[in-house]
Every structure is written in structure tokens, then in C-alpha cells.
């Protein structure tokens, strides 16, 4: 069983619009509503692959109840942590040319009691978990050290833990040696404090995160692919995509099936230990 932890889940509303014109009334051509948050996306990908997953979520108000209902409809078990504040609602506007504009709400502020209940719920639910995936930003009220505390508790319980977060929360958690961290290119550049222009730059940055405590680093590089760096070496993977509709949730989903060379279908994905270190990233990160 894969246990996911999303400290700041959301109810995501997406509207398809012909174009985004400021100050005008825009009529949507389509709409959808989804449970959101990085850990939620991991659970959805795991469930889609036919595996059991439990999502630990602090939920409050009508939006929180709807998130739980939507996940239940997808066959995903929810370990609900009741909170006084309402779960945030995010808005995405998808234009016909593929441009996506997102408005993410801050979410509720968790009290000290709610924070402890969240940690305790993770502990109680982790008994039968093969992995715990902790993902996303921290809501108001949680200190950057909160993930570090969670990693320490997970390891004390004998669980393996994967962490997908950024900024001070990522750096603080590294001292507790998470088994896997999954930054994107921008988050990786921020963690090492310098720009990344090539795949080689990304590999070097990933190696530095391992020196800081990460067991393995799975870095998503957008359209360029992904690099995996662990104690055995470095791998680079890329996949053919004929038409890109959206990259939202792509990195989250990849964590749910963290690749090893033997796992991947060579007809669809190219994986090599000959990492193209000189390959210039299509979107270099400053």
C-alpha cells in the first residue's frame, strides 16, 4: 500500500476558455472539478495503476467534503484529518492554444492540535505502507521543519519515505535523510542556489542533494525528461510526446511509479546510463 500525505490539498476547478482577455466577460467552453494537491495526484496515479493507496488529508468545510467524495468515487481511501478552516479552492484557466493560467489559494491555517493530529494520523496509517509519499507546499501554521519531523517519525516506524516539496521545507528535511526526493528543475536550482543550463548541471545538483542527505533524487526536467541519481549511479530518461495538452501533475504522477531501468518499456521510453550531460535544457532555469 502506498500512503500519501498532502498537507495542503485543494479542490481544483478548471475552465476551458477560447482566450484570456483581462476585463472582459469570458464564457467557458468546458469545465471540470478535481481533487488536487501533489500527494493527491500521486494517489490518483497509483489507483489508476490498480494498486491500493490511502490519502492522508486535512479537510475542512464544503470544499473538503467534496474532495473526499471525488476521491471516494475514484476508489481512493481517504484518512481524513478534520480542520476548522475550509480546504482551499484553486482555479485554472486553460486557453485553446495550450496556455494555462492558475490561481492557487493559500489554504487554511492549521492549529497546533491539528498539526499534531495530522502527524498522528500518518503514524497510525503507515503500519501497512510500503512507501509514504509526502508532497506539496505546507499550509499556514506549519513550520518548514514539519516535513523533517514527519520523515524522522516515518523512519522510526520503519517506513520508507519519498518527499516532493521545495524551498526551506526541502532543505530542512534533508537532514533526516529521506529515501527519495523529487524536485523539478526550478526547485533543484533553488536548492543548490545556482542556475541549471544543461542535464549535466541537473545531475551535479542532484548529487549535491544526496550529499546533503537524500537517498535518491528523481528530478523532472520538463520536456527534456528526467534524471535519477542514487547510490548506484545516474540515469537519464525521456519519452516521445506527439502533442502536449498540459504538464500539470506530470511530475507528481512520475513519483508514483519512480522508474528503474528494468521497469521501463523501451518502446516508449529511452533510458540510458550514458547521461547526455552536455544536453542544453529547452527551458534553462535561472
pLDDT digits (tens, 9 = 90+) for 196-229: 999 999 999 999 999 999 999 999 998 888 999 9
Question: Which of 13-17, 64-68, 122-126 shows the lowest per-residue confidence on average (mean pLDDT)?
Answer: 122-126
Banded pLDDT at 266 (limits 50, 70, 90) = very low
Does residue 50 sit in the same domain as residue 173?
Answer: yes
User: Which candidate, 282, 283, 278, 286, places its Cα nearest to that of 201?
Assistant: 278
Tens digits of residue pLDDT in 29-48: 999 999 999 999 999 999 99
Query: Based on the domain organization, do 37 and 160 belong to the same domain?
Result: yes
Domain termination residue (choose one: 163, 178, 193): 178
Considering the domain architecture, whether residues 4 and 141 belong to the same structural domain is answered as: yes
Position 16 in a domain: no
Q: Both 148 and 258 in a single domain? A: no
Quick one: pLDDT at residue 246? 55
pTM for the full model?
Answer: 0.87
The Cα–Cα gap between 249 and 144 comes to 23
Q: Do residue 135 and residue 194 come from a single domain?
A: no
111 and 242 inside one domain: no
Residues 60 and 109 in one domain: yes
Q: Do residues 40 and 135 both lie within one domain?
A: yes
Q: How many domains, in total, are found in the chain?
A: 2
Q: Are 38 and 4 in contact (CB under 8 A)?
A: no
25 assigned to some structural domain: no
Distance set, CA 112 to CA 8, 105, 118, 130, 202 (Å): 15, 21, 10, 28, 37
The answer as to whether 99 is a domain residue is: no
Instruction: Tell whether 24 is covered by a domain.
Output: no
For residues 85 and 135, membership in a common domain is answered with yes
Say whether 252 is catalytic. yes
Same domain, 165 and 262: no
99: left (phi over 0), alpha (psi -120 to 50) or beta: beta
Is 26 a domain residue? Answer: no
Single out the residue in 178, 199, 234 at which a domain terminates: 178
In the predicted structure, residue 64 carries a pLDDT above the cut 90:
yes
In 1-35, which positions are buried (b, 16+ CB within 10 angstroms) versus exposed (e)?
bbbbbbbbbbbbbbbebeeeeeeeeeeeeeeeebb
In-domain check, residue 115? yes
236/254: higher pLDDT:
236
CATH number, domain with residue 63: 3.40.1190.20
Full domain range(s) for residue 283? 185-286
Is pLDDT of 253 > 70?
no
The two beta strands, 100-103 and 88-95, are antiparallel
Question: Which of 178, 209, 237 is the last residue before a domain boundary?
Answer: 178
Q: Among all chains, which residue has been given the C-alpha cell 479552492?
A: 89
Whether residue 142 sits in one domain with residue 237: no
Residue 19 forms part of a structural domain: no
**Can you tell me which residue has the cell 530542512?**
172
The answer on 132 and 3 residing in a single domain is yes
Q: Identify the active-site residue in 224, 252, 263, 265.
A: 252
Amino acid at each position: 500500500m502506498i500512503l500519501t500525505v498532502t498537507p495542503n490539498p485543494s479542490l481544483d476547478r478548471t475552465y476551458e476558455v477560447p482566450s484570456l482577455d483581462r476585463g472582459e466577460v469570458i464564457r467557458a467552453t468546458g469545465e471540470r472539478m478535481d481533487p488536487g494537491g501533489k500527494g493527491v495526484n500521486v494517489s490518483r496515479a497509483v489507483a489508476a495503476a490498480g494498486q491500493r493507496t490511502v490519502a492522508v488529508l486535512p479537510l475542512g468545510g464544503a470544499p473538503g467534503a467534496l474532495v473526499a467524495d471525488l476521491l471516494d468515487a475514484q476508489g481512493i481511501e481517504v484518512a481524513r484529518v478534520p480542520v476548522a478552516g475550509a480546504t482551499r479552492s484553486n482555479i485554472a484557466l486553460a486557453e485553446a492554444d495550450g496556455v494555462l493560467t492558475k490561481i492557487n489559494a493559500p489554504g487554511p491555517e492549521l492549529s497546533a492540535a491539528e498539526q499534531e493530529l495530522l502527524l498522528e494520523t500518518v503514524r497510525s496509517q503507515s503500519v501497512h505502507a510500503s512507501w509514504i509519499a509526502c508532497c506539496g507546499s505546507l499550509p499556514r501554521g506549519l513550520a518548514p521543519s514539519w516535513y523533517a519531523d514527519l520523515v524522522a517519525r516515518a523512519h522510526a516506524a520503519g517506513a520508507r519515505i519519498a518527499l516532493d516539496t521545495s524551498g526551506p521545507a526541502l532543505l530542512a528535511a534533508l537532514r533526516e535523510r529521506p529515501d527519495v526526493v523529487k524536485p523539478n528543475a526550478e526547485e533543484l536550482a533553488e536548492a543548490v542556489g545556482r542556475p541549471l543550463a544543461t542535464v549535466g548541471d541537473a545531475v551535479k545538483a542532484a548529487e549535491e542533494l544526496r550529499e546533503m542527505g537524500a537517498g535518491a533524487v528523481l528530478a523532472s526536467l520538463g520536456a527534456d525528461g528526467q534524471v535519477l541519481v542514487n547510490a548506484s549511479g545516474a540515469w537519464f530518461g525521456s519519452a516521445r510526446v506527439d502533442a502536449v495538452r498540459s504538464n500539470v501533475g506530470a511530475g507528481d504522477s512520475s513519483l508514483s511509479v519512480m522508474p528503474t531501468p528494468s521497469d521501463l518499456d523501451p518502446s516508449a521510453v529511452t533510458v540510458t546510463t550514458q547521461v547526455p550531460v552536455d544536453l542544453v535544457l529547452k527551458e534553462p532555469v535561472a
